[in-house]
Amino acid sequence: MVYGISMGISTIVGSVTPMIINRSFPVGLSAAMFITGLVLTILGVIIVTIAGMRRDGGIKGSISGILLAVLSGLGSGAMNVGFAHSESITGQFALLGYSQAAASSARWMPVLVGGCLAGIVWCAIVPSPCSKPCQERY
């Protein structure tokens, strides 16, 4: 359930947000195909959520999983926003003589550093289950 919700929300946020920010929307057949894809994705998220809640015995058992899935999907979708707005990095690397592949790879650095920092903070705040000596745990 969590994976389906997370990836569905990530797809929606990652697709729609850059278009809204850039005010660049598809037209004609492209718009129809895009909207159809979004509707199918939203329906998929709804179906996966309902199926997961039925499996877990209702909303009460699923609320924390759904919340984490939504937050994960929003964060994952935000990566595409960062990538869409990092074109200046590609240009700077190209001016320095780097290949197109290397310049394109450099665009990921600022996007992934944010996730890395979040992971470091998480590890610093949440105690590890392995932090106790083995004798105390078993």
Give the CA angle between residues 83, 86, 88 to the nearest 5°. Answer: 155
Q: Give me the helices (H) in 1-138, please.
A: 2-22, 28-56, 59-84, 87-95, 100-106, 108-125, 134-137
The reported pLDDT for the residue numbered 138 is 47
CA distance 125 to 75: 19
The reported pLDDT for the residue numbered 91 is 85
Q: What is the pTM of this model?
A: 0.63
The reported pLDDT for the residue numbered 129 is 62
The reported pLDDT for the residue numbered 5 is 84
The reported pLDDT for the residue numbered 61 is 61
The rounded average pLDDT for each run of 10 residues, N- to C-terminus, in the chain (138 residues) is 83 87 88 92 88 76 77 83 82 88 83 79 71 52
The reported pLDDT for the residue numbered 118 is 75
The reported pLDDT for the residue numbered 40 is 93
Each residue of 53-75: b (16+ CB within 10 Å) or e? beeeeeeeebeebbeebbebbbb
